[in-house]
Amino acid sequence: MNHWRSRTLVAVTLAGLTLTSACQSDAGPEPLPPAESSTTAAVTPRPSPTQPAGWESKYTPRQLRSYEAALRRYEEYETKSERIWRVGRATPQTERFFKKYFFAWANQQRLLALYERNEVQIHGTPAVLRSEPTRVAVSDEGESVTIKQCVDFNASHTVQYGKETKKLSKKPQVRIVTLSRFNRPEALWRMSSIKTFQGKRPCSAA
């Protein structure tokens, strides 16, 4: 492997570890002003992989429905996109897919094209240990939800040039996802931001 290839390996490996949840901002409009808005701090979870106990009481039934819908939408994206990142090829089909889930879909398509050029594939999906809303805004114009998750990235792995790359951290990490949806016919939840803090914000499954 030549020096350029080695430098590329390092740079793309760091990106690859956070592929579908990279520290990025897919700027998209959020519904404003919220008619109902609530922010919560972390609470002690019950023994469930995705639903900590206690925070539900801080939200109205309408806000809880928004949170559940947004969470399902993100889970759907992560499941369906696994094959795209595992194959690692940018195509017209992947562009159409990203348009359904992101406001700034072109960022995902460019990232996938970068991975294709550098022979990067992501295998599997991370394990979500905890999930809860930190902000739910609901208005006549639309809805916006921010979700905080504790994620174990050891459940997935990155391959470049046919070899598995080293992870930045083996500890579970915080992931923040923001989704919005406008109140109009057939409007879909789309992501405006996905952020992970690899090695910087470890979290606990407890």
What are the angstrom distances between the C-alpha of 162 and each of 39, 156, 180?
A: 44, 15, 37
Q: Could you tell me how far CA 101 lies from the centroid of its own chain?
A: 11
CA distance 201 to 150: 10
The distance of Cα 109 from the centroid of its chain, to the nearest Å, equals 15
Task: Output phi, psi for 114, to 5 deg.
Answer: -65, -45
- Tokens 């090829």, residue located: 89
Rg (CA), the chain: 18
Query: What would the two tokens of residue 69 be?
Result: 């819908």
Distance CA 147, CA 71 (A): 8
What pLDDT, in 10s, does the model give residues 47-79? 344 555 588 999 999 999 999 999 999 999 999
Q: Each residue of 171-184: pLDDT tens digit?
A: 999 999 999 999 88
pLDDT computed for residue 9 by the predictor: 44
Residue 10 CB burial class (10 angstroms; 0-12, 13-18, ≥19): exposed
Length of the chain: 206
Q: What is the mean pLDDT of residues 138-146?
A: 95
- Residues 153, 125: Cα–Cα separation, whole Å: 8
Domains of the chain, start order: 3-196 (3.10.450)
Which tokens in the block code for residue 20? 């579908």
Confidence of residue 118 (pLDDT cuts 50, 70, 90): very high
Tens of pLDDT, residues 123-136:
999 999 999 999 99
Q: What is the mean pLDDT of the chain?
A: 81
SS3 state of residue 152? strand
User: Which tens digits make up the pLDDT trace of 8-20?
Assistant: 443 444 344 444 4
Higher pLDDT, 3 or 72: 72
* Residue 94 · residue 109 · CB < 8 Å: yes
The 8-class DSSP code of residue 102 comes to B
